[in-house]
Each structure stands twice: as C-alpha cells, then as structure tokens.
C-alpha cells in the first residue's frame, strides 16, 4: 500500500489537471526618436493595462510585466524570457495565452522605443513564435500634441505591414489607428484616446450581452465606436486582424468577478466620468444608454463620479476602500456649476466638513494623580489630503491627597492639523497638535467640619490653573458605511502647567489617546 502511495505522489504533476495560464507584457515608451515630441502618458497607459489584466483578465501579478522607456533590445529580451516560460508551462501540460500591449511613437510600421527601432512585423512574429496557444497584440502607437495630442504629427508612408491584412494563425492584432492615420493622446484623459476607451470597455461597459464577461469582439467593437466618435482632427479608425482556429469567444476580462464595482441602474442615462481620489486620474468614461443596468468593475478605492447636464455638473463621491458595490443614481448626485468643477478639478471637495465624538485617555496632568478618561466633540475640515481638527474636551477626576480628597474638573480646547495618505483602505495621518487646558481643583480635608469648628480655619480655596501642551499626533481613519468614519489618534504632548509647589516640575510628557466616530457633511 505504501508503494502505491509513493507512486501516486511521483505521478502527481503528470496527473494534475491542465490549466490555461495567461501572461502579459505591457510596454510604454514616452521617449521615441530625437525628433519625436516626448509623450506624456504612454508609461501610465502601460501601467493601467497591467493593473486591469491582473484585476480582471486572469493574469497573475508575477506573470504580468511592465517595461517603461525600454529600448528595443530589452523588449526582445523580455519576449525571449516569456517564450522560455511558455515552454516550461507547455512542458507541464498547461495552456498559455499571451497578451502584448505597446504604447509608443511609431512611423512607417516601426515602433520608436527610447531612441531605438522595433519593426511592427518583428513584434508580431516574435509574439506569435513565443509558443502560446493564443496571442493578442495591442498597439497604441502615435506621437503627441497639446489637448488632443497626435502620436504621428506629420504624414508618413503607410505601414510596410498592414495590420488589417496580416495572415495570422492563433493570433489577434489590434492597432489604435489604420494605416497612415494618427492617434490621439488627451490631457483631459491623462492617456491615449484608444487605450482609455479600451480599458473602459474591458471594465464592463463593452459587455453587450450582460453575461459578466467582455469578449475580444465586444471590446474591439466598443473601443472602435468610441474612438471614432471622440477623435478630433482627421479622424482615427482602430484596425483589427485575427486568424483563430476552433470555436467560442476569446474572453479578455470578467468584470462580474470583480470584488468592487459601480452599478448604474437601468434607468440611468447620459455621460458619466469616473475619476480616482485623491489623485484625479480618469478611470472610465461611460455613455450610458437607458434600458439595461451596467456594472462597472473598478479597483477598491475612492472615486468621484461626474455627470454633465447643461451648465451644471452632477457629482457623487463613492468610497469603496474595502470593495463591494455602490449604486450610482440621479438622486444621489450633488449639482454644482460647471465653472466651479472646471476650476477646482481634483481639489473639489463635496463633503469637506465632519463632526466627531471622541473618547479620550490621557496621562496625569499632575504627578501621582492617575490617568484621566474624558470626552470630546470636534469639527474637522479637509482639503484633499490635508486636514485640520478643532476639539472641545471636558473631564472630571477625583483622587486622594495627603489628608484630603481632591476633585478636579478640566476644560480643554485643541487644534491639530496635518497630512493624510488616502491611497489605502485605512487612511494614516500625521500632524501637530496644540491644546489649551483650564484646570480647577477643589479640596475637602479629612474631618473638615471639626477643623473649621475647633481651629476656626476656613475651607481650602479652589485652585485654578491654565496650561498649554504641544506635540506630534498620528492616527488612522477607518471608512464606515455612508458618510461615517472611525478615527483613532495618539498624541505625545509636552504639557506646561503652573505647579502647585516648587517640588512639582512645570513640564511633563503627557500621552493622549483618542478614539471615536465622525460623520462627513
């Protein structure tokens, strides 16, 4: 029986079921030849393509490569490495699908990569020879301009190899424009026009049959339609060529499997722009038609949804730091003048104010008097990643002195301000805090009545003191459903308080920890 178990263990790799493995090489080159204008967003487009295919396209992160401003020889080396990896996978009985994306300058059928040249036909043939069962090559190759920047600024001969007529087998080639045409790079999109619409479609807007998947034909039809409709100048017509054996559709992404999404109801209609926060990158631009709902897959994060209607713009802040779904509907939009939105751009704050209720634990204001538990109310104002918080805190405490009981009441006013990092689900923040504290102590001696009656001494007068404290503050903000959030902060204050006697130092370190919840409005 033992030998049978060992034999099964040795044969396990051969018995393991084959799987389809996807690999991606994403190439972005802002720098072309010396006489090419430097592109601005080719590297960003390459990074976005990688992120999308890792998120929705079934590509594992360690199988998705990005090359930025790499010369042609480095691209050749990377494709050779990928070919070796595909050979290993095939040797293990697995199926391989290879996706290659390029955003760069091009002219006359040659890619311009960091001062070197790579013929488009060589890229196509090298990708096909890598040994994958299916190969998808997407080329967004152009020059640059200003608002609608042309990636092929002057006329050039048609490509030596027409992407529309390549005799391919098991390979798909998509280009952002046809022969002798230019493509466009837009400042307002922070990327290329074709890639922008391709990514939006792959996030779910191209899912024409609402099956939760975006096929190659759906993605191309969508990006072609949107690119042609939006292109300025002489026009831009993406090209498409394929030669595939077998049946079925090539699915590029599966938005239905995304763990976070914006859901546009069936009745919604119009043009919606989704941008990230705090960095205002355009994530998607949707032309929503009424009649069917749209589930737009987005990474977990924070977003601003905009809808233009005449002289006004409807705005909706959406928080999905932990994933989930959030509906987008007309009733939730806040309408602002278009001029205000255009002027403030990414700095626009819809809910910059918040009220907070906090519980606080703080060190002893006077030595050997114990810690304090107090409550505080606060108001916070934010501008982008910057924040300022004002608090009013009150506390009561009682403790034992020498031959007497002491009661203490305090009222504190605090101001703190600093910076927060909003790139993560939990929002860390740091800053500087200043607090002004008023203190009142009342004293009740043991056998107080006997002392007054026998010795004729009056009751001890209350003591008042005013202190100030300053120090660093660090904390973390935790998003809650809706406009609520939780906040935990720690402060290490250097507190000055006039001493009751010369034996008590006026300066001391006073830790302060506060925790509570707030509501943005």
Task: List the domains of the chain with CATH numbers.
Answer: 18-257 (3.40.50.1460), 260-347 (2.60.40), 353-520 (2.40.160.20)
The mean per-residue pLDDT over the stretch 23-45 comes to 94
What pLDDT, on the 0 to 100 scale, is given for residue 130? 96
What pLDDT, on the 0 to 100 scale, is given for residue 503? 66
What pLDDT, on the 0 to 100 scale, is given for residue 242? 77
| String of DSSP letters for 131-156 | --SEEEEEEEE----SSEEESS-S--
Of the listed ranges 14-28, 214-228, 253-267, 412-426, the one predicted with least confidence: 14-28
For residue 424, pLDDT over 80 is answered with yes
Q: Print the SS3 string covering 195-239.
A: HHHHHHHHHHHCCCCCCCCEEHHHHHHHHHHHHHHHCCCCCCCCE
Q: Which of 436, 420, 439, 437 is nearest to 428 (CA)?
A: 420
Q: Report the chain's mean pLDDT, rounded to a whole number.
A: 86
- The neighbour count for residue 190, using CB atoms within 10 Å, is 18
For 269, residues 6+ apart whose C-beta sits below 8 A from its C-beta are: 288, 289, 290
H/E stretch holding 12 reads helix 12-15
What pLDDT, on the 0 to 100 scale, is given for residue 483? 87
| Tokens, residue 393 | 């805190």
What pLDDT, on the 0 to 100 scale, is given for residue 508? 86
- The neighbour count for residue 138, using CB atoms within 10 Å, is 24
For 453, residues 6+ apart whose C-beta sits below 8 A from its C-beta are: none
For the stretch 344-365, pLDDT in tens is 665 667 888 999 999 999 887 7
166 pLDDT tier (thresholds 50, 70, 90): very low
Separation between Cα atoms, residue 288 and residue 267, nearest integer Å:
9
The SS3 call for residue 75 is helix
For residue 149, pLDDT over 60 is answered with no
Q: Are strands 484-496 and 463-479 parallel, antiparallel or unpaired?
A: antiparallel
Residue, of 26 and 149, whose pLDDT is higher? 26
17 pLDDT tier (thresholds 50, 70, 90): low
Task: Identify the sign of the CA torsion 185, 187, 188, 191.
Answer: positive
The mean per-residue pLDDT over the stretch 371-386 comes to 92
What pLDDT, on the 0 to 100 scale, is given for residue 116? 96
What pLDDT, on the 0 to 100 scale, is given for residue 136? 95
Between 193-200 and 42-56, two packed helices, what is the crossing angle to 10 degrees?
10
What pLDDT, on the 0 to 100 scale, is given for residue 354? 97
In terms of C-beta distances under 8 Å and separation of at least 24 residues, what long-range contacts does 115-118 make, across chains too? 115/31, 115/32, 115/33, 115/34, 115/71, 116/71, 116/72, 116/73, 117/72, 118/72, 118/75, 118/76
Cβ atoms 45, 195 nearer than 8 A: yes
The mean per-residue pLDDT over the stretch 399-416 comes to 90
Cβ atoms 468, 434 nearer than 8 A: yes
The mean per-residue pLDDT over the stretch 478-483 comes to 88
Residue, of 60 and 461, whose pLDDT is higher? 60
Cβ atoms 260, 190 nearer than 8 A: no
246 pLDDT tier (thresholds 50, 70, 90): low
For the stretch 277-317, pLDDT in tens is 888 889 999 999 999 899 999 999 999 999 988 888 999 99
Strands (E), 310-426: 312-320, 324-327, 334-337, 353-362, 372-383, 386-401, 404-420
Before 278, cis peptide (omega within 30)?
Answer: yes
Q: Which of 341, 352, 197 is nearest to 280 (CA)?
A: 341
H/E stretch holding 72 reads helix 72-91
For residue 189, pLDDT over 60 is answered with yes
Give residue 109's region: left, alpha or beta (phi > 0; psi -120 to 50).
left
In terms of C-beta distances under 8 Å and separation of at least 24 residues, what long-range contacts does 18-21 make, across chains too? 18/93, 18/94, 18/95, 19/94, 19/95, 20/58, 20/94, 20/95, 20/96, 20/97, 21/63, 21/89, 21/94, 21/95, 21/96, 21/97
What pLDDT, on the 0 to 100 scale, is given for residue 501? 66
For residue 431, pLDDT over 50 is answered with yes
The mean per-residue pLDDT over the stretch 463-491 comes to 94
For the stretch 131-142, pLDDT in tens is 999 999 999 986
Cβ atoms 479, 321 nearer than 8 A: yes
For residue 343, pLDDT over 80 is answered with no
The mean per-residue pLDDT over the stretch 57-84 comes to 97
For residue 114, pLDDT over 60 is answered with yes
């Amino acid at each position: 029986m033992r030998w049978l178990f060992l034999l099964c263990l040795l044969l396990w790799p051969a018995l393991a079921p084959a799987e389809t493995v996807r690999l991606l090489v994403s190439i972005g080159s802002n720098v072309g030849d010396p006489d090419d204008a430097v592109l601005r967003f080719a590297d960003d487009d390459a990074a976005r393509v990688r992120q999308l295919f890792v998120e929705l396209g079934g590509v594992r992160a360690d199988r998705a490569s990005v090359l930025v401003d790499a010369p042609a020889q480095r691209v050749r080396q990377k494709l050779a490495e990928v070919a070796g990896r595909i050979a290993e996978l095939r040797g293990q009985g697995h199926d391989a699908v290879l996706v290659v994306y390029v955003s760069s300058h091009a002219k006359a059928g040659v890619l311009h990569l960091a001062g070197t040249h790579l013929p488009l036909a060589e890229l196509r043939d090298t990708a096909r020879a890598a040994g994958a069962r299916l190969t998808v090559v997407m080329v967004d190759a152009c020059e640059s301009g200003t608002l609608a920047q042309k990636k092929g600024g002057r006329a050039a001969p048609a490509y030596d190899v027409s992407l529309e007529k390549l005799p391919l087998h098991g390979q798909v080639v998509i280009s952002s424009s046809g022969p002798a045409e230019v493509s466009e790079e837009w400042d307002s999109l922070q990327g290329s026009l074709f890639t922008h619409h391709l990514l939006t479609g792959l996030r779910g807007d191209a899912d024409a049959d609402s099956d939760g998947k975006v096929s190659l034909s759906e993605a191309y039809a969508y990006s072609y339609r949107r690119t042609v409709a939006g292109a300025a100048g002489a026009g831009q017509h993406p090209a498409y060529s394929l030669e595939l054996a077998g049946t079925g559709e090539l699915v590029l992404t599966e938005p239905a499997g995304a763990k976070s999404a914006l859901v546009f109801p069936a009745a919604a209609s119009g043009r919606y722009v989704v941008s990230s926060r705090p960095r205002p990158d355009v994530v998607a631009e949707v032309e929503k038609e009424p009649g069917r709902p749209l589930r737009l897959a987005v990474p977990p994060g924070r977003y601003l949804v905009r809808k233009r209607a005449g002289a006004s713009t409807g705005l909706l802040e959406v928080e999905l730091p932990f994933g989930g779904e959030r509906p987008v509907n007309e009733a939730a939009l806040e309408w602002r003048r278009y001029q205000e939105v255009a002027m403030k751009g990414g700095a626009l704050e819809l809910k910059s104010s918040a009220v907070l209720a906090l519980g606080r634990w703080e060190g002893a204001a006077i030595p050997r008097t114990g810690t304090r538990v107090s409550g505080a109310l606060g108001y916070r104002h934010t501008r982008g990643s910057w924040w300022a918080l004002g608090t009013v805190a009150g506390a009561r405490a009682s403790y034992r002195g020498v031959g007497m009981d002491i009661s203490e009441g305090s009222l504190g006013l605090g101001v703190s301000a600093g910076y927060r990092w909003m790139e993560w689900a939990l929002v860390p923040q740091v800053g500087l805090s200043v607090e002004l504290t008023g203190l009142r102590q009342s004293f009740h001696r043991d056998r107080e009545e006997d002392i007054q009656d026998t010795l004729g001494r009056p009751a001890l007068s209350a003591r008042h003191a005013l202190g100030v404290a300053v120090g660093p503050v660090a904390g973390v903000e935790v998003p809650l459903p809706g406009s609520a959030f939780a906040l935990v902060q720690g402060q290490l204050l250097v507190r000055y308080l006039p001493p009751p006697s010369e034996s008590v130092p006026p300066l001391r370190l006073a830790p302060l920890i506060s925790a509570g919840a707030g509501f943005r409005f």
